[in-house]
Structure formats: C-alpha cells, structure tokens
Amino acid sequence: MADLASLDISFTLNGAPQTHSVAPFALLIDFLRDDLALKGTKRSCDVQVCGACTVLVDGLPVSSCTSLAADIDGKSVVTIEGLAEHGKLSPVQQAFVDHAAMQCGFCTPGMVLATTALLERHPHPTEQEIRHYLRGNICRCTGYIKILEAVKSLV
Amino acid sequence: MSAAERPDRVDFLDKVTGRAAFISDLDVPGMVHGKVLRSTMPHARITGIDIDAALSMPGVIGIVTGSDLGGIDPIWGVSLKDRPLIAIDRVRYVGEPVAVVVAETEALAEEALDAVMVDYDPLPYVTEAAEALAPNAPLIHDGVQPLKDFYFKGEAKPVAGTNIFQTYAYETGDVDAAFASADRVFEDSFDFPMVYHYAMEPHCGIASFGDDGLTVWSCGQAPTAVQKVLSRIFDLPIARVRVITPLIGGGFGGKASVKIDPLVATVAWKIGRPVRICFSASESMLTARRLSATVNLKTAVSADGMLQAKSVEVLMNGGAYADTGPAVAIKAAIRAIGPYKIPNLRLRSTAVYTNTVPGAAFRSIGGPQGVWATESQMDIIADALGIDPVELRYRNMLKRGEHVRPDLTPIDVDMAEAMGLASQAMSRLDAQEPHRRIVHGTALGIADPANSPVAGVLLRLKIDGSIAVISSSIEVGQGIREVLCRVAAEQLGQPVAAVSALTPDTAIAPFDWGTGASRSSLMMALAIEDAAADIKAQIGDIAASTLGLDPARIELVAGGFTADDKRYSFADLLHPYFGIDSGELIGIGRISPRSRGGALAKAPLFWETAAGRCGITLDEDTGEIAVKRYVSVADIGRAINRTGAEGQDEGAAIMGLGHALFEELIYADGQPVNGTMIDYHVPTIDDVPAQFETVLIENGGGPGPGGMRGMGEGAILPIAPAIANALATGFGIRVKQLPLTPERVWRALQDKKDR
C-alpha cells in the first residue's frame, strides 16, 4: 500500500543527511520509532497535549504524534538520541541529571528537547517564559519543581 | 566512573538520553499487535459480535472475543472473583474490552476495529454510588466470590443481592453517649470525585507462550500478583509464568495489583503468537481510576475544642469491577481519623459496584478522600468555636507513641513538630515575597500503609567486587533501583558504583508482595540487611576454612575486607575457595511477618504522615484560585536518597494540587464525558506554586535501617483541604466538594452574597 503512493523525503536527522520513502499518511512519531528505531521519542496522549513525543524540527518543538513524516522533507530533525555528542551530555541533559529533574523518565525526552528549544530562542528566559514554554510538556512524577530548578540553572 | 561523575540515580543516564526502554519500546521476535474494541454501552447484553468483515481485512491475524475462552478460567480478580478476561455476553461499563483484533501492525489492527460489529441489548445502568444502593437499582453482578488472603490479607464482605462489594465497620468507646452529652456536634458531608492516575506511559503489555510456559512483559506494579492471577487463569504452575518488568513510565496505583496482563495473555494464548497490546492514553483512562467518595462526618466537640467522638461514614463508588476497592474502602475510613486523640470512634464504609470505570488503588489508597473530609471539618469546627485552626489541631494532636486507634500501632512521628515546621517555612516564604492578599490554610494527613511484610532479595557478590541486586521491586519512577544500590552498598561496605539493580524478573527474583503502599524502599532495605548478613557470614566461614582467619576480626572494606590489619580482595578469598579465579557469593534476604521477632507484623509498620500549608489568592470575579506558595512537611525517618525523597514529596503534592483544583472524571448518561487527554486537565508547569518548599524531617524512628520509613504518598493528602481551608478563612466560603473549580468557587461566592 505504501509503495503505491510513497513519498521520497530528504532531511537531516541528528546532524546526518537522510533520504527515505514514507507513506503520505505516516506520522512522524511512527516513522521515527518504527522505521528508524529511534525509540526515545515517546507516545502518550496522541493528541498533542502532553509533549512526550516532542522532537525539534528546524529547532522548534513539534509534537511528532500529530505531524506527518512527509512534512520533514528539507528540514532538520533532532530527537533525544541526537543531543549527546560522543557520550557527552548536552548542557540541558546534564542539568536534568544534576537536578534530579526526572523520575519515571517517560516525559524526559520531550521535556529535555522543549527546554533545548526554549534556551535556543531565549537564552535568558524569565520564570514566566519558562513556564509558558514548557506548559505543553506534562510530567506526572516530579511536580515540575526540580525541572524548574534544572532549567533555571542554565539561565 | 568515579563517584564524582556518578549521577544521582542509576537510571538517569538512560532516561535523559532516550536509551531507557519501556515496554512499548520492546520487540519480541514474531510479535503481532492487538487493539481493543471497547463497549460503548454502560450496561448491556451482547447479542452478537460480527467479526467476519474484520477478519478479511489486510494484515488481520485473528480476533478474540468472550466466546473464545473455553479451556481457561475466564473470571478473575484480586479481591473478588468478578471480572471476565474480556466481556462475556454482557458489558458493565463504557470502555470494557469486548473484542481484540490482532494484526501484523498496530495500524492494521486499528483499521479493522471499525469493521467489528457488536449488537447490544441495553440494560438499566447506574453510575452514582447512592443510586447503586437503592433497592430498585440494577444489579451489576449476579454474585461474586471473595478471594481470601489472595492479594491483601483478609477478605471483602459483599452483600448478596445488592451492588455492595465491601462493608466495613469499626467502633471503639461509647460513641452515642459522647454525641448525646457533647457541647457541640458537627455534621458535614464531603464529596471527592473520580480522578485518573494519568501516568505518562499508557498501559502496555507483551505476552508469549512457549515450551517454558507463559512469559509476560508487564507494566504491573505487583509482578507476583500478575504471575499468580495468570497461573490461575491458564492453570499453569506459578513457576512456569514468568513476568518481566522493564522500566515503567509512571503508575501511581494505576498499574498496581493486576490490570491488563490477563487480557494480553489471553489474546496471545488464543492467537498462538507473541502479542503486544499498547493502550492509547484515552484507553488507559478507561482502565482504572480513584474511587470517588462521599464522606459523612459527625464529630462531637467540647466548648474548648476537644474532640470527643467521631463517626465516619464513607460511601465509595467502585466501578464495574472491585479490583482493590475493598481495601480502599477500609483505608478511606481509617485515614479520615486524623492525627487526633478521639476517645470514641465509629467507622463505617461501604463500596458499591456501578457502571463506570473500575475503581482501583491510587497513591495513598482512600487517603485523599478521608483526609479531604476530616481536615475540612477541623477548620469548620475551629471557625464555629472561634479557635485558630492550627491551635485546634495542637489541642487535639496525638503525641508520638499515642494511639490513633487502640488496635493500631501508635503514631511514630511528632505531628506537632511537622505542623510547626510548615508554619515556620510558610512564614519564611511570606517574608521573601510579601503579598498582602495571600490567605493561608493548613491541613494534616496520616495514613497507615498496607505494608504486607512479605519480600525477598538476592545479592550476588562477584569475585571482582561488583554486586547485583535482584528483586521484584519495579522501577516506576520512584527511584527504587538507586535505593537498592545504595542500601546494598551501605550494608556490604562497598562503593555504590560497584552495585547494579537488575530488571525485575519473576524467574529469578524472590517473591515480593509488590511495589506500592510506600513499602518497597523499606521492605527491600530490610531484606538487603538480611541478605548482606548472609553474605558476611559466608565470607567469614570461607575466610576461616580457606584462609584460616578469625571471622570475628573480618571487616568489609571497598573491594574486599581486612583481617588483622591485612587487606584481602574478594578474589583473595574466592579464588582459593573455588580453585579457579571465578565465582560469586549469593546472599538471600527474606522478609515475612515472622522476621525481626515478629516486629514487622504489626500494623501499620509505620505511619506515613504529612503537614501542608498553602498561601492562595482568589480572583473573586472568576472564582479562580491561585496557589502562590505551598509547604509540604513529612517525617520520613531517614532518607536513603535525599534528592529522590524530595522529588517524591514534590510530585505527590502537585498531584494532589490537581485533585484539589481541576481533576474529575465526569459521567453523563452512562458515558464518561471528559475521558480524553484533551478534556481531562492535570497540573502543568504553569500550575506550580511560585514558591514551593519541601521539608523532610529525618528523626529516625522508622522500622528500616537507620530508622527509615516509607514515603512518597503522604504529600498528596493535605493539599486539597489546606486550599479549601484557606478559601474559607479568607473569603468565607466553605466548599465541600472537589475539585475547587472556578465555577464551583464562584457559585459559592454568589451564594454567600445572596445570603
């Protein structure tokens, strides 16, 4: 079925150029998880309210559960697997570890990527900006207290 | 990795890099995918299921319905045997599994779901507990069988011919006489809604049958309960049911006892291939929720505010299947007592079936329901008597060592200290950011955890000094793997970096009751104490027989031990013992009610307590509450991982904030009307109080190593009544129903104006 109407897309994934064929209806989350075996992107709400499936597309946080894989053609995608370089955590990842800003870890990839995007755009966000930017990422374990601490430590 | 580089928890690096594997990330060879067709009817006879069209759709491998259960026991439960593996001829709530379509991919299974046609013959239904009690209410079950000592100790007491699946009564003193002679008697009724756990990871499971029996990758918080239930369903020996529990993306009780594994395993059994079923988040909302409750309190008080008698009457809505609801009903009544000296006490609790999502355990079972009522009423009493609410609590407070109830272990913390620290911390926060419109409210909570002292652990000390901890305690976010590592390291005198905690697997891990009720850190720490003692004894024996050392002079140090000022590595011991430069020692720790001379059999083993104080503002035009500052205090005895313990406390408090302000699963016409992630709001980062402080007291006094006790649930208890109490203090409105939505608060403000 996908062969009949598949689309060729070229994009950069975690810094590396890629070309793939995808079904026009394929969701970005399924493409990443099932076709590329990048399981760090988490599925939860399916309706773009929880942020667990957040990836960065051209530096902006996007819910991959409600985005089409075809739409990343020509764009740059960063998933949680792409943040650490040569085993060295990114500053956001390191801050989350240092501040114990995770518990079950299911929201963590999305939360870390959303924070990464926040700090790219606003290197010195106010508390209000942090809250505004991250309110699309739900965490049920931490009560957000240590997440706020981690993000503020980077400002 | 050097100690300085070691993260705060053993699971953080995987989690922060996306390597952490949850069940939905696993791939079992030959695995196919199931999707669940769910009842659209609250209560109905199934008159027909047409699967032919769906069976012929692309990729569909098979379809399982209630007519496929021949040869296995189709009814299961953990408190009462009341629940079909999949609906058999009848559905009892909207969302009940009716058919499972299995296909090569999830997408193909989902497409074929629409082609399965179910014919229903509607039956009268009931979604409210009070209506389910009515003499003419539709009967939801024709008869159910209590399972004695099956999961919890004891058994449920259903009432035949009614919807009641649990009744509980307790009485001490002369309650009626106290009411008759009291200066004042206060009667109030409080409502607590159904709320959903909303773990970020929806329920997911994989099951596979083979020559070695049944293997399940489970998200269950109690692997051995899953194992037992599955062994009964399929008539398999327990040892041939293997439950593996990878990292779990949050549970909060929503994955406790047994939830989806019987369904997943049944489908795998019928299809004959490994099957993976991952629920959507909306399906998980139709899987379990907290029991809603109406709590009627009648309290006798002297003119100077001394509590003389209290009657607690709880009615709980348990949904279509009892699950652990019978235990929740008991705990709700007990947890409504509070940390107060009350000489005459009457507790009554009733839980009923309704045509709603099954009620189940949820962080501090029954606690928030009971505490919401009792702590709201304490302020009502204080207000009526003209006594400061904190002062009223001090006057009635139990001292450490005094009894909440004569038959329960005395309270083992100083609640006055906790309340005092809450007030002090709030004063500090107030001073940091003066705000003249802030109104404060206080509440306390105490809970008697059902600790079930049945646990076990294996410690494997390898010849190179590395240590593996093997237990059935699941990592659900609470940080148990780190706790296991730290306690094992401490008990064996080894660096924590030498220790790893393995993925729970019933094939190798000793029996443990389950992960919940704030028990795992404590129970496992006790078991590790014993396992470490076992290993130390073995080291002593071998050192004596092989090296000729005096066991009494051996002292464990990092990487080995010393004796008579000489240092030995573990290889120095084990190489000569085994004859080859390989091998290990295995230490076994087993906890039972008979351990520690029977001391672990007392109930509760410790009290889990919390004091909360909030500072709120209210927009009187809209009724919207803003919780500006919050202080959460608990005496946890001793923290194994201080940061981790703080995180547990913070998470519980903010979860309670959701209960307080927004959360309610609403039913209309038998249907859940907000059963989606879009419609059901939980706290976001924007809802967190600008100032938040957790104060963890480490006074020791708990039953674990170093005086530790369990924690992680307490902070969910006081926050809702603390906020309601602030509303009453500051704005003269007493709202007795949660959540404190803007509409509800606004209406209370209007009613007050109209008065």
CATH number for the domain formed by residue range(s) B455-601: 3.30.365.10
Selection from A113, A110, A116, A11 nearest residue A69 by Cα: A11
For the residues B428-449, what does the mean pLDDT come to? 96
Domain residue spans of chain A? 7-81, 91-153
- Using the predicted structure, report yes or no on whether residue A2 has a pLDDT greater than 80: no
Query: Which of helix, strand or coil describes residue B596?
Result: helix
Q: What's residue B350's pLDDT?
A: 98
Chain A contact for B284 (CB, 8 A cutoff) = no
Confidence of residue B23 (pLDDT cuts 50, 70, 90): very high
Confidence of residue B1 (pLDDT cuts 50, 70, 90): very low
Residue in chain B closest to A48 (alpha carbons) equals B678
What CA–CA distance (Å, rounded) separates B151 from B164? 20
A7 bridge partner residues: A22
Selection from B297, B449, B314, B307 nearest residue B374 by Cα: B297
Contact between chains at B688 and A144 (C-beta distance less than 8 A): yes
Chain B contact for A54 (CB, 8 A cutoff) = no
Which class is domain B289-450+603-754?
alpha beta
Q: What's residue B3's pLDDT?
A: 47
ipTM: 0.98
Cβ–Cβ < 8 Å for B721, B375:
yes
CATH 3.90.1170.50 in chain B: give the residue spans.
12-123+200-250+254-285
Chain B contact for A118 (CB, 8 A cutoff) = no
First-to-final CA distance of chain A: 49
Which class is domain A7-81?
alpha beta
Single-letter amino acid code for the residue at B196: Y
Contact between chains at A81 and B18 (C-beta distance less than 8 A): yes
Confidence of residue B125 (pLDDT cuts 50, 70, 90): very high
Q: Per the structure block, which two tokens stand in for B304? A: 């100077």
Instruction: Kindly indicate whether the domain formed by B12-123+200-250+254-285 is annotated with CATH number 3.90.1170.50.
Output: yes
Q: What's residue B738's pLDDT?
A: 98
- Per-residue pLDDT tens for B197-207? 999 999 999 99
The torsion defined by the Cα of B184, B168, B379 and B627, in degrees rounded to 10, comes to -170
- Using the predicted structure, report yes or no on whether residue A89 has a pLDDT greater than 50: yes
Confidence of residue B435 (pLDDT cuts 50, 70, 90): confident
- Using the predicted structure, report yes or no on whether residue B166 has a pLDDT greater than 70: yes
Residues of A in contact with B249 (CB under 8 A): 42, 44, 104-106
Nearest to B8 among A43, A100, A134 (CB): A100
Confidence of residue A4 (pLDDT cuts 50, 70, 90): low
The CATH architecture to which A91-153 belongs is: Orthogonal Bundle (1.10)
Strands B204-210, B275-278: pairing kind: antiparallel
- Using the predicted structure, report yes or no on whether residue B387 has a pLDDT greater than 70: yes
- Using the predicted structure, report yes or no on whether residue B458 has a pLDDT greater than 60: yes
- Using the predicted structure, report yes or no on whether residue B362 has a pLDDT greater than 80: yes
Q: What's residue B396's pLDDT?
A: 98
Residue in chain A closest to B22 (alpha carbons) equals A106
Contact between chains at B688 and A108 (C-beta distance less than 8 A): no
Chain A contact for B708 (CB, 8 A cutoff) = no
Average pLDDT in chain B: 97
- Per-residue pLDDT tens for B604-625? 999 999 999 999 999 999 999 9
CATH 3.30.365.10 in chain B: give the residue spans.
289-450+603-754, 455-601
For the residues B94-113, what does the mean pLDDT come to? 97
Query: Which of helix, strand or coil describes residue B46?
Result: strand
B505 bridge partner residues: B244
Q: Per the structure block, which two tokens stand in for B650? A: 């913070």
- Using the predicted structure, report yes or no on whether residue B274 has a pLDDT greater than 50: yes
Query: Which of helix, strand or coil describes residue B646?
Result: helix
DSSP H or E run through A117: helix A108-121
First-to-final CA distance of chain B: 69
Cβ–Cβ < 8 Å for B95, B286:
yes
- Using the predicted structure, report yes or no on whether residue B755 has a pLDDT greater than 90: no
For the residues B113-129, what does the mean pLDDT come to? 98
Q: What's residue B281's pLDDT?
A: 96
What CA–CA distance (Å, rounded) separates B425 from B695? 8
Cβ–Cβ < 8 Å for B641, B689:
no
